[in-house]
Amino acid sequence: MDRPLVVYDDENTELLKEAGELAGGVDATLTVLSLMTADEFREAREALDVVAQEEHTSYDDSVVIDAAKKQAREAAKDVFEDVDVDWNVVGARIGEGESESDRILEVTNNRDVDHVFITGEKRSPTGKAVFGDRVQAIILNFDGPVTSLLG
């Protein structure tokens, strides 16, 4: 493991800590991926547009992604306080009609990731068939080890 990536989950930082400890143990630099859904992005963009109108200025989309990255960065600082690991944060937006797993896989390919850490949801087999499962999609389509923690 040289280039691991952990998908940040603001509701569960346990996997973030585990990924940091494992990456630190092999002197790898951990990438923390902060994702925004299309709905989250749209809501943040609309709020930013109101502020921009009041300030008589404009902001580009990177400001919204930077806010999501900041949240992940602050969580990582707290989690890695006692962990000896090099890490960085990247942000990505899930586009309209794009699946979360497709976006994660795109980031892993672009960053030449060799190990993915991801939280999953507890779902029944029927739930997975109907709604899909991002962990399953990553396991099936990522060319490397995947570590998952059910949330």
Tell me the pLDDT tens digit for each residue of 66-117.
888 999 999 999 999 999 999 999 999 998 889 999 999 999 999 999 999 9
**CATH label of the domain that carries residue 93:** 3.40.50.620
What pLDDT is stored for residue 132 in this prediction? 52
pLDDT value at 130 more than 50: no
What pLDDT is stored for residue 131 in this prediction? 40
Q: What is the mean pLDDT of residues 8-26?
A: 93
User: Nearest 5°: phi and psi at 89?
Assistant: -120, 135
Per the structure, the complete domain to which residue 57 belongs is given by 4-150
For residue 126, name the pLDDT band (cuts at 50, 70, 90): low
As separate numbers, helices (DSSP H) first and strands (DSSP E) second, the chain gives 6, 5
What does the radius of gyration of the chain's CA atoms come to, in whole angstroms? Answer: 16
* Residue written as token pair 């999609």: 137
Lowest mean pLDDT among 6-15, 29-38, 118-127: 118-127
Q: What is the reported pTM?
A: 0.86
Return the ∠ at Cα 41 (arms to 77 and 78), rounded to 5°: 10
Q: What is the mean pLDDT of residues 28-49?
A: 89
Domain count along the chain: 1
pLDDT value at 61 more than 60: yes
Q: What is the mean pLDDT of residues 18-37?
A: 96
What pLDDT is stored for residue 137 in this prediction? 92
What pLDDT is stored for residue 123 in this prediction? 57
